[in-house]
Structure 1
Amino acid sequence: MSEVYMLLKKFPKGGNIHLHHNHVVSKQKMLELIFSSFLYDHLYVKASAPAMWNLDFFLNPPQGWNKVKDNPSYSKDILVKHATLLGVIDMKATNNPTNSDLRWEEMNPLFGVLGSNIINHANFSKIYMNALLQQAMDENVQYLETKSSSSNKLYVLDPARSYLVKNGKRFIDNDLGELELQFTNEVVQKFKQNNPNFVGYKRIINSYRGKDEQYILKNAKKALTLFEKYPDLVSGFDLVAEEDKGYSLLFYLDDFAKMAAKNVSLPYFFHTGETNWPDDLLSSPHNDDPVPTMGNVYDAILLGAKRVGHGIGYVKHPYLMEVLKKKNIAIEVNPTSNKMLGYVADQRHHPAITYLRYGIPIVLGSDDPATFGYDEFTVDWYEAFMSWGLNLADLRHLAFNSLRYSSLSSSEKNVAYQKWKVSYDSFILNTKTIACKQTFQNTSPHIFRIFPQESDTKGGTKIQVFGRNFHVAICKKIICKFGDMKTKGTFVYSHRIICHSPDLSHGNTIHSRVVPLTISLDGGLTYIQNTFTFSYFQNNHLPIPDIFG
């Protein structure tokens, strides 16, 4: 891994608030946890096609399932390969980087390989949850929100005769999946006790957007019940799966109207605008829903979404971008997911950087890192940092946003900010210490241009100095020398320094003056050989605008 990646891994990221619960912990880690537990004896695999594998726990497996234990055909590496998009993606999908249909065709079967069948085992549910929280802390993520269905009910393996017809599975949860939530809360509270810097965790209940209205209404009501019963744990409702192939938000309008009629306050966090198709394209196969995917970018706002997931399509609608900005609706950006699913071919052109610079609040999420096969949250931060030209202020802004636009209460956010700031200050101090120990051999700085090259005699003009190898000035004092007068310089990038022109107006009656401008990167011990001339004038000239910020 690169030094930049390792540094970003240490960076305090605040929270990750766009994650699908069953697809966060790496498949390699999940299998290691299973192989080291009693559950290894009950792990079976069904390989019905090259890209259609499934894993499950049984006492007596159904026909066609093979035991994994001690079978060289089902080693951890082989199972991981068949459980991740990076492991199964074929050349056709690879050679069509913006064909999201091809990517989803290969992604959809993977959700069940090491998914709910495994994670909903009562014992493994706790093991998985603890691993998820530990993964967050290992990557300096202090808060999490994950999305999961309420239909994920816990089970145990029971050898009683009455359960053998069900392959030994005895479900112990109710229809709302409350026991799983209680187990989750138990793990979270214990983890917080052992890790004081960890802020917390919340769950967003989701439903599959390919189902009919009755199904969605039923699940929305479940989400509301859980939201009211577990307000410190459950934070809202979402619709998930491939947006282009699912029903539109408008299709479910009656459902949301019925919820609104109850005067409920269930927060919505809709996946919205996860598409690269034109506004008028009907990509959905549902004949009873003639609404293009892009219609969702309007309806998510009208339905009062607190945040929107992905939001790629908003870049086509400046008016809606302005609405998002004014209403302070954050976009949950998932750059690596968007690339792997064919929505963005080149991260340098991802619309998120436009949103960020325009002032729309964005947060960085990771979507399904384990099932994609890249595993770590830091990958998205690395992709964004390297592709969008981000600086430390941008990274700090994104980390802060992840807490500001989270589902935490106001008091919880205050605690979160304090914990994050402690981590951030420590990161800056440690990073500065490391940076100041760096030595640069055979590296000579050069100046190629300064702008502007003149200033009012009152001084204070910001002078942009462009060149190469300015990083040798890290942790050293930069001096800008205008003739005999010195001012303090500021390091911006390895190719840019800022100087401020000194005040020559006091006691001077000159109308113009030209002085040499030289720069030292080591506190005045030596000066860069390049010398530029700098002119002063009386303040009757037109001011020179600062176009660099």
Structure 2
Amino acid sequence: MTPLEEHTQKRAALINADRAFRVDHTRLPHSMELCADKIARRIRTEEATTVWGVEHENVPHPFPGMEFLTGKAIISSTRLFGIIRKMPKGALLHAHLDLTVDPYTLLHFALRYPSFHIRSSEVITSSNISSIVPEIRPLAPDFPAEASSLTDPSYPPMSWVPFSRARERFDETFGGPEGFDRWVTGYMSINPSAAYVTHNNNIRIWDKFRSAALLNMNIVYYTPLWRQYIRQFLEDIAADGILYVEVRINFTRRFMVGADGKMDVPHIEWLKIFKQVVDNFKQEREDFFDAKVIYTVIRDCDAAGLEEHLEDCLVMKKEFPDTIVGFDLVGDENILIPLKDYLEPLLQFKERQKHEGVSIPYIFHAGETCGDGTKADENLYDAILLGTKRIGHGFSLVKHPKLMQICREQGIALEVCPISNEILRLTASMPMHPLPILLNHGVPVALSSDDPAIFQNIGLSYDFYQVVVASEVTGLLTLAHLARDSITYSMLEGAEKVKLMQMWEDRWFKFLLELVSSEKGQN
């Protein structure tokens, strides 16, 4: 054997030994999977040149895994994305329900209800239309309109205008009704300019995020619309090949606004409607398995306030034992209260569950930060010690080798939200994302979308795409493993989990067959 041959042999062995740690190397693929993976890899290689290697209007220097909001239109046009769209995704384990429906759809839902009104702090003019954030709320059915147009020079600031009337009378200078839609929805999501220019760091972009989230939530938390909203969410995810979801519902608001305009609809009613919509959807659709709820509260309350929410969660778990599957604290970890300040009520709640004979696992957000040793970063330690079943985001976990080992050995999966992480400026692009580090260390991962209404990544296809084009190692087989892990690390148990996995495997085989057959037909 020549020195070159020996080196080549050692090189191949070292690569194989190194990649043996990856979670997607634990299962022997069958021939159909290998064939489909080969097809996807070939298309990715071709499009790296034919799509990402050429100039596009208004998209300077495109590259695979580039800033999502800038490259979205290019992504949507690719053949590889079309393939991923058809792929069964498994489970969506990290999404905030009140931020999941496309803003244009939500706006037109609101237009159907006369109770919705809008106001602004100033008359809308050409000089302030790009900086005035409107306020939208449902009011009492008999609430008298205080003005008729936001763009009329005589508009009294902070006066309520019926939503549909404000749209109809939006000045033609600003595009009329269609301009109104663009103006309002522009504040309900994050655009490329905000993400990559005006708010281009992890601190400032959260300000934009909170503003957009509030606009969405003020529409969503209206009982007559709630049912329609949940249905739309389920239709959207099912259309993208998602079979099951554990969605986070934010119960920080004590009440939802009812049809009478009063904020007096309790949490228990929210869940009753949720369960009714889900049950009906399951009966109608063979392509959807189920939807569960992770009780969520923003991490800005004091310990006493958290205790109230934990008690509320316990009550609802008893009322809906098959719907509530976990508890979480959410919000900007960099500025809000860390887990260590909530240890006493969180530890007491674990003991309380034993006495009550119920199980509400912790599924904590932790480590959604670029920090190292900051309170947001150290939430990872407390989340693991508190027994979290999964970790939401866990972006900074790769800085902690011991914690990665624990997650790998104890089966604590990370809910990784690639596009969310990029838009919230934890990383500049997907090739810089730490996801490959997690995969290479055998840490289980479930890809998730987080807040698709704001990030414009409805479903999971965009997140799957960004992951697969940003790596030469990751392929269709890796995506399949991530889909399987999303089911494995769900809160389903026993026969339910087995049934869902089989449902996914059946759809996976059908997807493979169609992909390989269509490829043969083109050759």
Taking structure 1 as the reference length, the TM-score comes to 0.71
Aligned match for 2:522, one of 405, 413, 438: 438
TM-superposed deviation, 1:211: 1.9
Q: Secondary structure at the match of 1:206?
A: strand
Q: For residues 481-521 of structure 1, give each alpha carbon's deviation from its aligned partner in whole angstroms, at most 9, with x where no partner exists.
A: xxxxxxxxxxxxxxxxxxxxxxxxxxxxxxxxxxxxxxxxx
Question: Are residues 155 and 346 of structure 1, via their aligned partners in 2, closer, same or farther at CA, if it must alter by over 3 Å?
Answer: closer
Within 1, Cα distance between the matches of 2:281 and 2:351? Answer: 39
Matched residue, 2:400: 317
TM-superposed deviation, 1:377: 2.5
Within 2, Cα distance between the matches of 1:378 and 1:8? Answer: 6
Alignment of 1:108-147 (within 5 A): 108-115=210-217, 117-147=218-248
**Structure 2 contact 389–413 (Cα < 8 Å) conserved:** yes
Within 2, Cα distance between the matches of 1:230 and 1:119? Answer: 22
Within 1, Cα distance between the matches of 2:289 and 2:99? Answer: 21
Question: Are residues 77 and 14 of structure 1, via their aligned partners in 2, closer, same or farther at CA, if it must alter by over 3 Å?
Answer: same
Question: Are residues 91 and 428 of structure 1, via their aligned partners in 2, closer, same or farther at CA, if it must alter by over 3 Å?
Answer: closer
Matched residue, 1:329: 412
TM-superposed deviation, 1:152: 5.6
Which consecutive unaligned segments of at least 5 residues does structure 1 have? 159-168, 282-291, 440-549
The alignment status of 1:80 with 2:185, answered yes or no, reads yes
Matched residue count: 409
TM-superposed deviation, 1:247: 1.1
Matched residue, 1:451: none
The alignment status of 1:22 with 2:22, answered yes or no, reads no
Task: For CA contacts below 8 A with separation 6 or more, give which structure has more relative contact order.
Answer: 2
Matched residue, 2:439: 356
Larger Rg: 1
Aligned match for 2:461, one of 375, 378, 395: 378
Alignment of 1:445-524 (within 5 A): none
Matched residue, 1:64: 159
Which consecutive unaligned segments of at least 5 residues does structure 2 have? 1-76, 123-130, 147-157, 172-176
Q: Secondary structure at the match of 1:388?
A: coil
Q: For residues 464-490 of structure 1, give each alpha carbon's deviation from its aligned partner in whole angstroms, at most 9, with x where no partner exists.
A: xxxxxxxxxxxxxxxxxxxxxxxxxxx
Q: Secondary structure at the match of 1:408?
A: coil
TM-superposed deviation, 1:263: 4.4
TM-superposed deviation, 1:114: 1.9
RMSD: 1.9
Alignment of 1:400-411 (within 5 A): 400-411=484-495
Q: For residues 197-216 of structure 1, give each alpha carbon's deviation from its aligned partner in whole angstroms, at most 9, with x where no partner exists.
A: 21100111111112211111
Aligned match for 1:274, one of 354, 368, 384: 368
Q: Secondary structure at the match of 1:202?
A: strand
Matched residue, 1:251: 341
Within 2, Cα distance between the matches of 1:357 and 1:9? Answer: 26
Within 2, Cα distance between the matches of 1:333 and 1:7? Answer: 22
Aligned match for 2:423, one of 320, 326, 340: 340
Within 1, Cα distance between the matches of 2:238 and 2:306? Answer: 34
Within 2, Cα distance between the matches of 1:90 and 1:422? Answer: 39
Larger relative strand fraction: 1
The alignment status of 1:170 with 2:170, answered yes or no, reads no
**Structure 2 contact 91–486 (Cα < 8 Å) conserved:** yes
Question: Are residues 76 and 430 of structure 1, via their aligned partners in 2, closer, same or farther at CA, if it must alter by over 3 Å?
Answer: same
Within 1, Cα distance between the matches of 2:517 and 2:346? Answer: 54
Q: Percent identity?
A: 27
Within 2, Cα distance between the matches of 1:222 and 1:2? Answer: 47
The one-letter code sitting in structure 1 at the alignment partner of 2:475 is N
Within 2, Cα distance between the matches of 1:415 and 1:358? Answer: 29
Matched residue, 1:295: 378
Please identify runs of 4+ aligned residues in structure 1 that moved more than 4 A.
none
TM-superposed deviation, 1:373: 3.1
Question: Are residues 87 and 122 of structure 1, via their aligned partners in 2, closer, same or farther at CA, if it must alter by over 3 Å?
Answer: farther
Q: Secondary structure at the match of 2:94?
A: strand
Within 2, Cα distance between the matches of 1:342 and 1:114? Answer: 21
Q: Secondary structure at the match of 1:268?
A: coil
Q: Secondary structure at the match of 1:52?
A: coil
Taking structure 2 as the reference length, the TM-score comes to 0.75
**Structure 2 contact 250–295 (Cα < 8 Å) conserved:** yes
Q: Which shows bigger deviation, 224-233 or 399-408?
A: 224-233
The one-letter code sitting in structure 2 at the alignment partner of 1:224 is L
**Structure 2 contact 422–428 (Cα < 8 Å) conserved:** yes
Q: Secondary structure at the match of 1:89?
A: helix
Within 2, Cα distance between the matches of 1:428 and 1:91? Answer: 37
**Structure 1 contact 51–88 (Cα < 8 Å) conserved:** no
Alignment of 1:209-224 (within 5 A): 209-224=299-314
TM-superposed deviation, 1:346: 2.3
Question: Are residues 87 and 223 of structure 1, via their aligned partners in 2, closer, same or farther at CA, if it must alter by over 3 Å?
Answer: farther
Q: For residues 323-353 of structure 1, give each alpha carbon's deviation from its aligned partner in whole angstroms, at most 9, with x where no partner exists.
A: 1111100000001000100111121121111
The one-letter code sitting in structure 1 at the alignment partner of 2:182 is D
